[in-house]
Amino acid sequence: MSGPKVVRIVTREEIISICEGFLRRLDQTIDTWMRDGKRIGELTDEEVANTLERRKMLGALLAQDAFMDLQKMAPDEIAFLNADLARRQQIAVDKATQARKRQRQGQDSADSLMQALKSGDIAIPMELHEKLRLLASGNALKDADAILAQGFSLLTPQAPVGLTDAQRDLAERLMVGIEAQDSVGWKSTHVAPVPTDRIERIDRQIVELQMLLEADETADFAARLRTIEAAKVDVQQNLLLDSLILDLATVIEGAREHRAAMAELTMLAAELREYDLSATTLLESIAAAASSTPIRVINEFSSECRVLITQAQQRREAEARRRAILQGLAQLGYEVNDGMETAWARDGQIVAKKPSLPGYGVEIGGQAHTGRLQVRSVALTIDRDTSRDKGVEIIWCGEFSKLQELLAENGNNLTIERALGVGAVPLKVVSDSQLSVNTETKGRTLG
């Protein structure tokens, strides 16, 4: 048994609010996972359906009061989806990088092949000429290899068709010394070499940037690369490529930070709307934020959201804590009225009387928004038989245990953090005139 106590209360409403916050963050993560996964073409309808089914299962945990399970599983699901999206983006980057490499090889080969055909005064069929021209201009064609093979065949010396055996033998003797080359060999001698490692690195950087920004925001880098590639292969070209690599690295890092900040802001804005606060102007500004919005402004918006959300959470939690304590006291036979919750919020403490214990009451003090409260038996008159004080404290200790049980039945948790022994300090005296107003606390406290 003990006397005055410092206690902490966690209400069911508070726990539900925490769980709902996890679900809101999960919903935002799923939205991002679906949007980006579909945009890069690395997500199937079946995978989306499976994820939504897992989300439904987690939502059911809240309805089942499986709060601990939800608080563990929701963060795990969020971490999984973030890692899964990063993996899918890596796959998309690999595919796009290889596609750019093939496109570049096709472009270089088509350009060199057209020059060779022209210098050899070899006629090119009109349809083939147009396809080669498109490849040489950097267009991606599905049958690029077949087109190049068809063009290369025009360069390959062949024995005339429809000749007699004697004529064919003569033609073969005339072709002696003309080395036959396949397309690979021809490319090695006719297609200008490029600094492959640097080019492939830049290709990958451009693809990564395209995952983060809109196409028009990455076009300048692609244009710079084309200009550098068209230049003479020398030390100057390598310097230009190195400079482009550094510029891309800087922009990619900034884009990643910006994207992460925007993702955080989006989650905070969703949570802010959930609390239905009068932050219309802020929410409108957040909705208008885009990739061009400076990260400094985004972080400022996030800070404002956090402050408003914290304030709203504290208000809700304080109301729930005060309500839970007062309802519990009422069940124990203490006089509780509608104005006591308001008085507690205003004055920081209240005193509840119990008709079966005339001259005594229970004082509850402290700021409910912190969850840390002080409870103690008090006397309502200085002119009393003080020999009863210790017995009243013992009664209150028993009732406190009952209060814990009543709160637990409703999903609330009331625990003792610190306590003094029964009779360790004299009962604080609170007059009738002080029951509804906050007064200076006298006597020893536990704060």
The answer to whether 436 and 367 are in contact (CB under 8 A) is no
Is pLDDT of 237 > 90? no
The Cα 123–Cα 52 span in angstroms is 60
Predicted confidence at residue 155, as pLDDT, reads 75
Is pLDDT of 86 > 90? yes
Predicted confidence at residue 347, as pLDDT, reads 86
Please, what is the angle between helix 235-274 and helix 295-331, to 10°? 30
Q: Look at residues 324, 288, 394 and name the one whose alpha carbon lies nearest to residue 10.
A: 324
- Cα dist from 102 to 132, 145, 157, 229, 235, whole Å: 15, 10, 27, 15, 25
pTM over 0.85, yes/no: no
pLDDT tens digits, 346-382: 888 899 999 999 999 999 988 778 888 999 999 998 8
The answer to whether 222 and 96 are in contact (CB under 8 A) is no
**SS percent in the chain: helix, strand, coil, step 5:** 65, 10, 25
pLDDT tens digits, 240-295: 999 999 999 999 999 999 999 999 999 899 888 887 667 788 988 998 988 789 99
pLDDT tens digits, 301-339: 999 999 999 888 888 889 999 999 999 999 999 999 888
The answer to whether 157 and 178 are in contact (CB under 8 A) is yes
Please, what is the angle between helix 389-409 and helix 295-331, to 10°? 120
The Cα 276–Cα 281 span in angstroms is 13
Q: Look at residues 79, 2, 10, 39 and name the one whose alpha carbon lies nearest to residue 390.
A: 2
Q: Which neighbouring-strand residues pair with 373? A: 7
> Both tokens of residue 267?
């989650």
Identify the DSSP state of 6: E
pLDDT tens digits, 109-141: 888 888 888 887 888 888 888 888 888 877 777
pLDDT tens digits, 40-85: 889 999 999 999 999 999 999 999 999 999 999 999 999 999 999 9
User: Can you list the alpha helix ranges (DSSP code H) found in 120-137?
Assistant: 126-136
Pairwise pLDDT comparison (443 vs 398), residue with the higher score = 398
CB neighbour list of residue 258: distance below 8 Å, 6 or more residues apart: 212, 291, 295, 298
pLDDT tens digits, 12-44: 998 998 999 999 999 999 999 999 999 888 999
For tokens 């077949």, the residue is 146
